[in-house]
């Protein structure tokens, strides 16, 4: 269970970073080649911050309120850097991988509710 929460927290941090990244004009163009509307940028940033919050909750579920936030900050840094380094080589793939976080964390949360 703890491993599930940790993995969810990490993947969600990555997914949130992808959303925040696409919420920036420069990076949205980098991935899709065109600009998006201001509304979409705002939506993406909103999703990003939401993802970061849920990621924090996962880390707290794994480690508690004392240690969880420390682990969360570490997870954010690593996720952001992985995205930054992947973006120039595999931009679409880097974005597509963001789906793993929500999927896994839903599965873990479901298992937690049922079990």
Binding site for another protein (CB under 8 A): 3, 6, 17, 20-21, 24, 26-27, 62-63, 66-67, 70-71, 73-78, 80-81, 83-85, 87-89
- For another protein, the closer CB: 77 or 113: 77
- For another protein, the closer CB: 18 or 113: 18
- For another protein, the closer CB: 5 or 54: 5
Burial class (CB in 10 A: 0-12, 13-18, 19+), 45: middle
Min separation Cβ 2 and another protein, Å:
8
- DSSP H helices, the chain, are 2-22, 25-32, 38-86, 91-96, 100-114
Min separation Cβ 51 and another protein, Å:
15
Min separation Cβ 21 and another protein, Å:
5
Q: Give the whole-angstrom CA distance, residue 103 versus residue 8.
A: 9
Q: Give the whole-angstrom CA distance, residue 46 versus residue 52.
A: 10
Angle in degrees, CA 96, 100, 102, rounded to 5: 115
Min separation Cβ 59 and another protein, Å:
10
């Amino acid at each position: 269970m703890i491993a599930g929460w940790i993995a969810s927290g990490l993947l969600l941090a990555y997914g949130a970073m992808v959303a925040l990244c696409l919420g920036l004009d420069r990076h949205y163009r980098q991935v899709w080649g065109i600009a998006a509307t201001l509304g979409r940028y705002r939506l993406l940033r909103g999703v990003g911050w939401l993802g970061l919050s849920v990621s924090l909750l996962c880390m707290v579920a794994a480690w508690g309120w004392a240690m969880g936030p420390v682990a969360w900050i570490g997870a954010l840094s690593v996720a952001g850097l992985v995205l930054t380094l992947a973006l120039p080589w595999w931009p679409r793939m880097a974005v597509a991988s963001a789906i793993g976080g929500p999927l896994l964390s839903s599965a873990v949360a479901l298992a937690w509710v049922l079990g």
